[in-house]
Structure 1
Amino acid sequence: MPLPFLTADRDLDLDPGAVDAAALPHDEPGHWRRPYRPGPWRVGAAAVLLLLASFVLLSAMIIAMAGSLPGAAVCALVGALMIALALRLLRVGLWVSAQGLRQVNLLRTVTEPWSAVASVRTRQQPVRWLGLPRTVQGQALVIERTGGERLRTLVTDHNGDFLSRPEAFERAADVLEAWAAEHRD
C-alpha cells in the first residue's frame, strides 16, 4: 500500500536511474513538494517537542482547575508555541515546484523563481553537524543565484535529514539538481 506522504522517495527507491526520467515522481508539478523525507533526527526532535508540549498543556489544565487562570493561560501559550515550533521544525528544508525553489528555515522562508537560480550542485566543504555550531567536513547542496550570491546552505549530509544516511543525501541532491536543470531552461 503506497503512503502518500512518501511520494518523493517511493518511486526513486525502486529505480535509482529514475532521476533522469522525471525530476520528481508526482503528478502535480505546480504544488510545493519536498523531494526527500524528513530524517529521523528531525522527526525525533519534533516528537520530543510535542511530548513536552503535551506535559505543558496538561499542567495548564491542572493549573486552571486549581483556580489560577493567568498561570494556566501562560502555560497554554507556552504549549501552543512548542507545538508551532515542532511543526515548523518538520517543514524545514528545500521545497520545489514549477514556480521555483523554496528554502524553509526555522524562522524565515526564501522563495526564488527558477529564473533567479544559476546553479544547484553538491560541494565538499565544512558543514554544521545537526545544525549545531560544531563543523565537520562533508557535502553540502549549494544553490547560487544569478546575481552571484548563494542561498544559505540548508541541505548537507550531516543535517537532521541526512545524518548517517549518505544514500538518501545523494538521491535528494540528484533529484534537486535534475529538477533545477529541468525548470531553469
Structure 2
Amino acid sequence: MPLPFLTADRAFDEAGEDLALPFDDRDQWRRPYRPGPWRVAAAALLLLLASYVLFAAVIVAAAGNRSGGAVFLGLAALVIVCALRLLRMGAWVSAYGLRRVRFLVTSTAPWAKVQAVRTVQQPVRWLGLPRTVQGQALVLVSGDRSGAEPTQLLTTHNADFLGRPDAFDRAADGVEVWADEYRGHA
C-alpha cells in the first residue's frame, strides 16, 4: 500500500533546483512534508489503546454481554478515528488553494484570496498547549478578513517540527513555493 505522506520530503529532495513543485497531479490535496515524530507517536499510542479496547470488546462480548461489547467496539472506533484525524492535521496544498486541517475544523483558502504566505518570528504554542515559546511560524495572510490576525499554518514547536528546524524550513519553503506559483494564476 503506497503511503504518499512518506514520499513528500523525498520528492522535494530529488527534484532539486529544477522543479519547484515536484508533483505530477497538482489538483490533488497533499501535505508537502512528513508528519513529525511527536504526531506519529501520539497516533501510535492511540492505536495501541484502541487495540486494547478492541480486545476488551471481544472479551466482554464472549462473556455474553453483547451490548457492553458494542459499547467497547464503538469506543475503539472513536479512538481509531481520532488517531487518523491526528495524522491528517497540518497544512495541505493543491492547485485550488491552501487548506489548514485541525483536529475538529478544516478551513480552505482559495489562492485568489491568499495575499501572502510568509515565515515570521513570534511566540508560538509548544505542542499545541497553552504555554508559548519564541519560535517561527508560517502564517497565511488572507484577503477576505480585513484587519484580522494572520493564521498560523505551521510552527517550529508543533507536533510536526519540534526539534526539527531543518524540516520546518523545508516545509515552509515548499508551502511558500506553492503560494508563489498559484497566487499569480488564480
* TM-score in terms of structure 2 length: 0.91
What letter matches 1:184 in structure 2?
Answer: R
Q: Provide the C-alpha distance between the structure 2 equivalents of 1:69 and 1:5, rounded to a whole number of angstroms.
A: 39
Aligned to 1:172: 171
Distance 1:111 1:4, change over 3 A: closer
1:154 deviation in Å?
3.5
1:150 deviation in Å?
4.4
Identity of aligned residues (%): 62
The match for 1:82 among 79, 82, 93 is 79
The 10-residue stretch of structure 1 (147-156 or 157-166) with the greater mean CA deviation from structure 2: 147-156
Cα RMSD after superposing both structures: 1.7
1:3 deviation in Å?
7.1
Q: How does 1:1-185 map to 2 (within 5 A)?
A: 4-14=4-14, 18=17, 21-147=18-144, 148=146, 149-150=148-149, 152-185=151-184
1:14 deviation in Å?
4.6
Q: Provide the C-alpha distance between the structure 2 equivalents of 1:5 and 1:155, rounded to a whole number of angstroms.
A: 16
Unaligned runs of 5+ in 2: none
* TM-score in terms of structure 1 length: 0.92
SS in 2 for 1:119: strand
Unaligned runs of 5+ in 1: none
Q: Would the aligned equivalents of 1:138 and 1:158 in 2 still touch at CA under 8 Å?
A: yes
What whole-Å deviation, never above 9, does each CA across 1:115-166 have from its counterpart, x for those lacking one?
A: 0111000111111111111110000011010133345424100000000000
